[in-house]
């Protein structure tokens, strides 16, 4: 997804290639989270997964909006679905182009 820039913080579906610990700095999770934009020398970018961020927020006394979480999951699902369907559409277009070329060749042969 790699969207929603928020100043230094970037929400990512998976940790970036230069992420410290190759995932969440706290639990090593490689699921979605936030790249903090903080670069740790010799380690990489400080990334935190959404689970740890949620726990941090709860410990800090913030309530987590359950409905908002549900929408986040739906958004993530729809993004994956969209990516997959876009790839399928591109594949179908390639097949249709190939079919069109084959038909044109067959028609050209038939005229001779």
Distance CA 52, CA 72 (A): 16
Of 12, 24, 34, 46, the one binding Zn ion by CB under 5 A = 24
User: 90 vs 77, 84, 95, CA distance in Å?
Assistant: 20, 10, 9
Of 20, 21, 29, 44, the one binding Zn ion by CB under 5 A = 29
Does 53 bind Zn ion (CB under 5 A)? Our answer is no
**Min CB(52)–Zn ion separation in Å:** 3
Kindly state the tokens that stand for 102. 């084959």
Residues 62-101 binding Zn ion (CB under 5 A) are none
């Amino acid at each position: 997804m790699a969207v929603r820039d928020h100043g230094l913080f970037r929400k990512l579906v998976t940790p970036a290639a230069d992420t410290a610990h190759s995932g969440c700095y706290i639990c090593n999770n490689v699921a979605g989270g936030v790249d903090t934009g903080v670069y740790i020398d010799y380690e990489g970018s400080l990334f935190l997964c959404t689970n740890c961020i949620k726990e941090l927020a709860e410990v800090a006394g913030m309530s987590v909006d359950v409905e908002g979480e549900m929408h986040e999951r739906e958004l993530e699902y729809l993004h994956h679905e969209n990516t997959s369907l876009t790839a399928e559409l591109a594949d179908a277009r390639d097949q249709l182009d190939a079919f069109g070329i084959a038909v044109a060749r067959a028609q050209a042969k038939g005229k001779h």
